[in-house]
């Protein structure tokens, strides 16, 4: 009777496999991994879009739209002889520019300061675009909120009333729009900050669906600067928005909480 050779120990089999793997050149393994990553990127539709700058361009915001494209908010300096302009550009999934247009408004960037900034973009439930940012008025920035059509046509614009005193004898010198969130009835909550109380403090604007400012509130704090950085979630319970903001001059305390619509 013929005897079969004894089976190799499992540890020896594992060692032999490791030796065989090490026999494959490292550069071949790396090249194969690189090709796989490149192919994965192509499969995912990765792309980079570079706009031809006029002088200095900055992309401040972007939003994915329900048609599968993306709208980018751009600040450009030096366009058409103006110090700066606010633009929106729509790109498809491959980075092809579908359109690019200047955002209309009652004020434009004719001042000397680069304050035309589309800080935040959101898509509303009806497909329109909600924008929070800054416009220029006599070279000074002020908070500006707008609803635009899906093609970036201005439907309405709203801004804080600069003649409303923050505290007795103090009017806001500058203001900035940081974010916007939609209420269930189509109205929006505009969040921003202003100067005039010894530092940066809060602007809160409840804006109706047609662009009328129902109510505005200016919170101030003489000890610390306060910033509403953004909205962490949409409106909930019919009249509350979940808000994240940072408070502090050198402290940088971050807080998240609920904000009632009744300002």
* Every domain of the chain and the residues it spans: 10-42, 54-260
pLDDT of residue 166: 54
Q: Residue 29: pLDDT above 50?
A: no
Over residues 38-59, mean pLDDT:
66
Q: What percent of the chain has pLDDT over 70?
A: 54
pLDDT of residue 221: 55
Q: Residue 227: pLDDT above 70?
A: no
Model confidence at 241, pLDDT cuts 50, 70, 90, reads confident
**β-pair partners for 77:** 56, 84
Q: Please tell me the distance from the alpha carbon of residue 14 to that of residue 117, in angstroms, as a whole number.
A: 61
Stated pTM of the model: 0.73
CB atoms within 10 A of CB 203: 26
CATH number listed for the domain at residues 54-260:
2.120.10.10
Model confidence at 46, pLDDT cuts 50, 70, 90, reads confident
Model confidence at 251, pLDDT cuts 50, 70, 90, reads low
Q: Please tell me the distance from the alpha carbon of residue 226 to that of residue 31, in angstroms, as a whole number.
A: 51
Q: Residue 66: pLDDT above 90?
A: yes
* Residue 61: both structure tokens together: 């915001």
Residues 76-127 have pLDDT tens digits of: 876 555 567 889 999 998 889 999 999 987 765 555 567 889 999 999 999 9
Q: Residue 158: pLDDT above 80?
A: yes
CB atoms within 10 A of CB 85: 20
pLDDT of residue 70: 95
Q: Please tell me the distance from the alpha carbon of residue 90 to that of residue 70, in angstroms, as a whole number.
A: 6
Q: Are 226 and 218 in contact (CB under 8 A)?
A: no
Q: Residue 159: pLDDT above 60?
A: yes
């Amino acid at each position: 009777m013929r005897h079969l050779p004894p089976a190799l120990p499992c540890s020896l089999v594992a060692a032999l496999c490791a030796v065989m793997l090490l026999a494959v050149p490292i550069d071949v393994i790396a090249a194969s991994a690189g090709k796989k990553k490149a192919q994965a990127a192509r499969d995912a539709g990765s792309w980079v879009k570079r706009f031809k700058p006029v002088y200095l361009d900055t992309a401040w915001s972007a939003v994915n739209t329900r048609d599968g494209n993306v709208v980018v908010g751009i600040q450009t300096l030096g366009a058409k002889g103006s110090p700066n302009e606010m633009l929106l550009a729509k790109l498809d999934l491959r980075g092809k520019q579908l359109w690019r247009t200047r955002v209309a408004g009652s004020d434009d960037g004719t001042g000397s300061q680069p304050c035309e900034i589309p800080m935040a973009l959101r898509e509303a439930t009806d497909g329109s675009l909600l924008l929070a940012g800054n416009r220029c008025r006599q070279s000074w920035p002020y908070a500006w909120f707008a609803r635009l059509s899906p093609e970036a046509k201005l439907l309405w614009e709203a801004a804080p009333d600069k003649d409303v005193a923050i505290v007795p004898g103090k009017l806001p010198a500058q203001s900035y729009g940081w974010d916007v969130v939609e209420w269930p009835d189509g109205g929006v909550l505009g969040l921003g900050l202003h100067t005039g109380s010894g530092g940066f403090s809060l602007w809160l604007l409840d804006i109706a669906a047609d662009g009328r400012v129902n109510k505005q509130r200016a919170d101030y704090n003489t000890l610390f600067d306060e910033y509403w950085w953004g909205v962490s979630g949409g409106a909930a319970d019919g009249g509350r928005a979940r808000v994240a903001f940072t408070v502090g001059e050198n402290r940088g305390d971050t807080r998240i909480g609920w904000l009632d619509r009744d300002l």
